Structure 1
């Protein structure tokens, strides 16, 4: 009786859907009102709606009905059931139309739920069968999940391909016992192990083949490894000389158990001249300030292949100005950079940079010029260790008691940076972490007029709570102090306040002296925020910031965090989020009169 009622209801809805489809064909926009489910017993309506793209009407938003999205939602519901053991699940859809409103109906026939009875692997010689079983994230008695099974099969295939078994064959099958118990069998035909005989390179016109071969982590006589070949492809691409790189297997010799690799590349133009305009981030005069949003115009000339060893030479001129003070004189930066990608047979990046920059900000002016010599070990773009030696001349002018004072300094420095980026997305991170460490000691080399050290650490973490909702937090600290009797320069001190630090304070004005911002030699900063979607490209955030500055590290025991909190709106763009934050000071250890501060910025605060 129950099955008869189910099918009669399904037929009724299906006939109504045909009539509704005829009505909807001539109209432009129809909006989703309600979504109904029939026949779902193991999953609630809420569970099913979570996997759907179409959404019911909300207080401030409506979803336009789209037949393609309806088909994708039907597939998503079906996949949800199949992933949980309902291998024979079927999903029918229908709609009803009233005016410009559409109600959506899903008729679900869940079918039988299947469970894993056993998992058997045959034909294994190279690996232990017990180890291969651990690659399947499913246990006996759990609902049969074809997606998990396939991931396990793919992991086994990767193992063999990374050990040189190019011709390995995997064949899986299932058998049903006791109507809903599945026995899974994987048969492996391992084949023979292959070594690389030769590497053939095609597509080179001006670049020396040595450049490509030195980036390869495999060579003649080494065992074939898919993982190493993919790493080689990435290294070749990251030279910046090619627009595309592909590595394929050719000429498999089944008798000698050897094969050749074909590396196909497409060269970029070796010389480049371009102009770019956009929004970026800058620190201003004070190197210890937190970044702020700036508008920039940049021109660059680049030679990607200056020497046979792949050395690059670039000349870059950039002018930028803070969005909060758009009428100020722009900052000017000129950089000439010569870089060599390999040094002493190691994959490293050594460079010599000659620079000049000038900026005026809030009664201060700073001019810097000099050279920096650096050596970076860079296994990938997302992690590196960089050491450097710099020679810099600084001219710093500032106002004191209605008098313009000018200071000159020469800084000879040594330092290193550590960079580790494990975020899943650079612009819109939802998972992972980000860590940086920068340090510099000035005065260790002769000829320096100042002697001090500076250390800054940053750690950020991103946690996806559920669909579209991300919790993020950051801890940041900095310390600097003089060495001997020399004083620490004001233009290197730390500042707080602004769109990327304490949002309840305007940029750099956490501490003030008169009408001017005041820096410190000791910085502590903590930020946490909840990011979530609202409607269309608009998202929201709730945040809490805490931090403090002290003039000297001897006052570390006097640190007293000031706090602000607020809400913000984000607008998703291809270039990253545009952000408007509304912040209010909760507690301040300093005298502060502003109740609310509005911050406009690009990118997230961290």
Structure 2
């Protein structure tokens, strides 16, 4: 009986505890339901020096308040904030700080909370040793060479990302130099008390391998020799992953394929020839692109491009292009016939109609150009051919005609010329380049024996360079251009429609459209026979897809080649805001002339545009 009595007491006590817990849980739940939600007003970081705020914010579950005041504030969740403390400690350990502490401070007022995360980073883990050993001594891979790829530096802070990057760089070096079967392993000996790290990397290069047979699949109308021509890999050559990637990029540039896959095949461990399979999927034969936009100079503009791919097979491409704006209307057709007569030469024929409406003159033109083009090594392309154009300028002021004696309004000018060019492009992204460069060298020669009304030699060199400054989307961009068009033989002066003009949204942005260079007594621009332009831009991220730009322009147009004087350059500077889209940036820029032509009229320019200035 006594045992039953004690058992009953214990059962009653347990039931009482359960009832109290149940009531407490219900009260807590009711309180949470009844309590109004809290919203995050501010979220600030204090004390982070080595780890950027953007990196920390990206790690948080707690959302940041929006940048724009009209957007709703996010809800505050205390549980997310507690989890964020552990997440940030793990982040700091990955960044080499094993003694970091994070103290949250939350202040509540009127349904809003202000969150302050106080961070004490503490001492970082320093790298005291980096040892790379190549296990197979008969290979050509040297440990001293591999050390050059190390982002880890003796005496500097250790980070897990740099450790993984070191292993990846070594593996990529093996893949690019004939060792596709290589293996890289590593370990780190950390001493949190002494704040030191010793890094050990072991490398097994494996045998030297070469490319084997190349099999092409998936093509229907594109000839296999055309695909092979754009491959930078050849059977018997040393294996290189970089050449595989470059081959894939070159095939995409043809605009014939919607997908390109280049895969090494699996082979036995002893086999040193690696067969390659190229699988392509062709694009639709026809495509139509229509676009419209607005610019502060050309106002409303529209464009339509109709493209036929693999016309009658053979990789031939026919394109019809039309463009309209306040400054220019153009109808143009081009035909590309690759590998003419089974050679490595491409035939490109372009013809079109052009109407231009500039501040000083307007003109109508008919032009055609036939060139033979060849792909050269190092991403270089060269062409040579023939050009023919008919142009009729009009709308020229009497004052301008007094100085441009070779220009007759309404007269039909014929230019018959030889054309040539050389170009090279190594940029990583045409819509938003981060690194690389572009060089364009073009020329036209219209001699007397070709029976044209004009005789001249036109040449221009355009050099562009892009360099990432080590931070994401922080790019220094530079451009320099020099052009000349001196008259020769029976031509004493170049007519206005063929002269150089400068000023506007793509060059010398602080000045009015085409107003640089020689002018008549009323200030109307006359253009010139030589031109020099240069631009320096700093492009940097601001918030999400918004980016800023600061720029400096210098250049001018000169009446004749012998009048070229770099001491007479005009200068402009400004800044802008751009929003990044898949087709390029859209933005607004503000530019001020530093040595204006007319201080009353040349005060500043506001530029609305799509795309980079270059």
TM-score bracket for the superposition, by shorter chain length: 0.7 to 0.9
> In the alignment, is the contact (CA less than 8 A) between 2:38 and 2:75 conserved in 1?
no
| Partner Cα separation in structure 1 for residue 358 and residue 607 of structure 2 | 19
Residues 445 and 575 of structure 1: CA distance in aligned 2, closer, same or farther (over 3 Å): farther
Q: 1:480 Cα deviation (Å)? A: 1.8
Within the candidate set 365, 368, 371, 1:367 is matched to 365
Q: 1:318 Cα deviation (Å)? A: 0.4
SS in 2 for 1:160: helix
Q: How does 1:194-233 map to 2 (within 5 A)?
A: 194-233=209-248
Q: How does 1:416-427 map to 2 (within 5 A)?
A: 416-423=420-427, 425-427=429-431
| Partner Cα separation in structure 2 for residue 26 and residue 552 of structure 1 | 77
1:115 paired with 2:113, answer no
1:145 paired with 2:159, answer yes
Residues 293 and 57 of structure 1: CA distance in aligned 2, closer, same or farther (over 3 Å): closer
SS in 1 for 2:244: helix
| Partner Cα separation in structure 2 for residue 189 and residue 563 of structure 1 | 57
Residues 391 and 424 of structure 1: CA distance in aligned 2, closer, same or farther (over 3 Å): same
| Higher radius of gyration, 1 or 2 | 2
1:490 paired with 2:485, answer no
Within the candidate set 581, 584, 588, 1:580 is matched to 588
> In the alignment, is the contact (CA less than 8 A) between 1:579 and 1:604 conserved in 2?
no
> In the alignment, is the contact (CA less than 8 A) between 2:132 and 2:203 conserved in 1?
no
Deviations 1:331-353 (A, max 9, x none): 1313132331577654x543222
> In the alignment, is the contact (CA less than 8 A) between 1:119 and 1:185 conserved in 2?
yes
1:31 paired with 2:31, answer no
> In the alignment, is the contact (CA less than 8 A) between 2:510 and 2:591 conserved in 1?
yes
1:522 paired with 2:530, answer yes
* Equivalent residue, structure 1, for 2:335: 337
SS in 2 for 1:233: helix
* Equivalent residue, structure 1, for 2:450: 446
Residues 391 and 589 of structure 1: CA distance in aligned 2, closer, same or farther (over 3 Å): same
Residues 170 and 279 of structure 1: CA distance in aligned 2, closer, same or farther (over 3 Å): same
| Partner Cα separation in structure 2 for residue 367 and residue 306 of structure 1 | 31
Within the candidate set 205, 224, 234, 2:249 is matched to 234
SS in 1 for 2:485: strand
Q: 1:396 Cα deviation (Å)? A: 3.0
Residues 426 and 179 of structure 1: CA distance in aligned 2, closer, same or farther (over 3 Å): same
> In the alignment, is the contact (CA less than 8 A) between 1:355 and 1:369 conserved in 2?
yes
| Partner Cα separation in structure 1 for residue 243 and residue 178 of structure 2 | 11
| Partner Cα separation in structure 2 for residue 259 and residue 186 of structure 1 | 27
Q: 1:481 Cα deviation (Å)? A: 0.7
1:409 paired with 2:413, answer yes
Q: 1:367 Cα deviation (Å)? A: 1.6
SS in 1 for 2:528: coil
Q: 1:364 Cα deviation (Å)? A: 1.9
> In the alignment, is the contact (CA less than 8 A) between 1:199 and 1:263 conserved in 2?
yes
1:243 paired with 2:258, answer yes
| Partner Cα separation in structure 2 for residue 449 and residue 416 of structure 1 | 20
Q: 1:123 Cα deviation (Å)? A: 0.6
SS in 2 for 1:252: coil
> In the alignment, is the contact (CA less than 8 A) between 1:248 and 1:263 conserved in 2?
yes
Q: Under a length normalisation based on structure 2, what TM-score does the superposition of the two structures give? A: 0.76
| Partner Cα separation in structure 2 for residue 321 and residue 419 of structure 1 | 28
| Partner Cα separation in structure 1 for residue 267 and residue 154 of structure 2 | 40
Deviations 1:26-58 (A, max 9, x none): 759633253345xxxxx53x8543544477899
Cα RMSD of the aligned pairs, angstroms, is 4.3
SS in 2 for 1:587: coil
| Partner Cα separation in structure 2 for residue 478 and residue 469 of structure 1 | 30
SS in 1 for 2:564: helix
> In the alignment, is the contact (CA less than 8 A) between 2:221 and 2:313 conserved in 1?
no
> In the alignment, is the contact (CA less than 8 A) between 1:496 and 1:549 conserved in 2?
yes
1:102 paired with 2:106, answer no
Structure 2 unmatched runs, 5+:
1-27, 58-62, 402-407
> In the alignment, is the contact (CA less than 8 A) between 2:127 and 2:153 conserved in 1?
no
> In the alignment, is the contact (CA less than 8 A) between 2:256 and 2:309 conserved in 1?
no
Structure 1 unmatched runs, 5+:
1-17, 38-42, 283-290
Aligned length: 562
Residues 112 and 341 of structure 1: CA distance in aligned 2, closer, same or farther (over 3 Å): same
> In the alignment, is the contact (CA less than 8 A) between 1:78 and 1:89 conserved in 2?
no
Q: Under a length normalisation based on structure 1, what TM-score does the superposition of the two structures give? A: 0.77
